[in-house]
Amino acid sequence: MLGYKVWRSKFGGDPGIVGKTLILNHQPTTVIGVMPPRETSSDLWLPTTISRAEARRQYSFEARLKPGVSFKQATADIAMLAQRFAKVYPNDHPKDVIFTVESFNFAFTSHLRYTWCILLGAVGLLLLIACVNVANLLLARDGAPAGVCHPRVAGREPHPADPATHGRELALGLGRSCPGLRSCLACPRR
């Protein structure tokens, strides 16, 4: 498989390149396709062999599922192909090989879930502390002795000394920070 950039720069975007033979590392190699422009991880993809000596090595393959095919069906098909390869190549096929099919998004973001949960919890805790501090300042302002200067917003009267108002503000602040804490607690653990 050729990378899109190599196909455009070295072969002029020739659509007839598929099926042609190139010499790579003194070996004739047939071009079987061109990768889409979004795939930029490599310029060239070559077939590989897996031997018993490399059984502990991990390989990953990217493929697109046909519409209507589930991950469970794809895993069963891959396992069936692995059994066929084991029969055809009994000396080269690793004994303990395992094939799994997983979502592309899950493969690249699963290791970040724990980090995101910790970050979400820290932000929720910070918001909770900020809400409690604001409520504490409001309560302290109303409990101050008469004659103490209160901060004022231009054109508005000072906030009335109504404990019910502060209770509502505290409840609203806590209520707004709880969904973040709830979603953090709902995150799956490893």
Query: What share of the chain has pLDDT > 90, as a percent?
Result: 10
Q: Which two tokens stand for residue 71?
A: 């991950």
Give the CA angle between residues 24, 84, 68 to the nearest 5°: 90
Q: What is the mean pLDDT of the chain?
A: 76
Provide the CA 103 distance to its chain's centre, in angstroms.
10
CA distance 88 to 80: 13
| Dihedral sign from CA coordinates of 153, 156, 158, 159 | negative
Q: Say how many C-beta atoms besides its own lie within 10 A of residue 34's C-beta.
A: 20
Q: Which residues, listed in sequence order, are joined to residue 27 by a DSSP beta bridge?
A: 24
Nearest-Å Rg of the Cα atoms of the chain is 31
- Give the total residue count for the chain: 190
Q: Which residues, listed in sequence order, are joined to residue 21 by a DSSP beta bridge?
A: 30
CB 78 within 8 A of CB 61: no
In 55-188, at which residue ranges do the beta strands (DSSP E only) sit?
A: none
Give the closest residue to 172 by CA, choosing from 140, 138, 132: 132
CA distance 10 to 61: 26
pLDDT value at 94 more than 70 = no
Over residues 7-41, the pLDDT tens digits come to: 999 889 888 999 999 888 888 989 998 888 887 77
Q: Say how many C-beta atoms besides its own lie within 10 A of residue 11's C-beta.
A: 16
| Dihedral sign from CA coordinates of 78, 83, 89, 95 | positive
Low-confidence winner among 30-34, 62-66, 155-159 (lowest mean pLDDT): 155-159
Residue found by looking up tokens 């002029």 in the block: 12
The mean pLDDT value for 94-98 works out to: 70
- Return the pLDDT at 163: 55
- Return the pLDDT at 173: 66
Contacts of 95 (CB under 8 A, 6+ apart): 52, 55
Domain boundaries of the chain, sorted by first residue: 1-47, 51-101, 110-143+158-186
* pTM of full prediction above 0.85: no
Amino acid in position 132: V
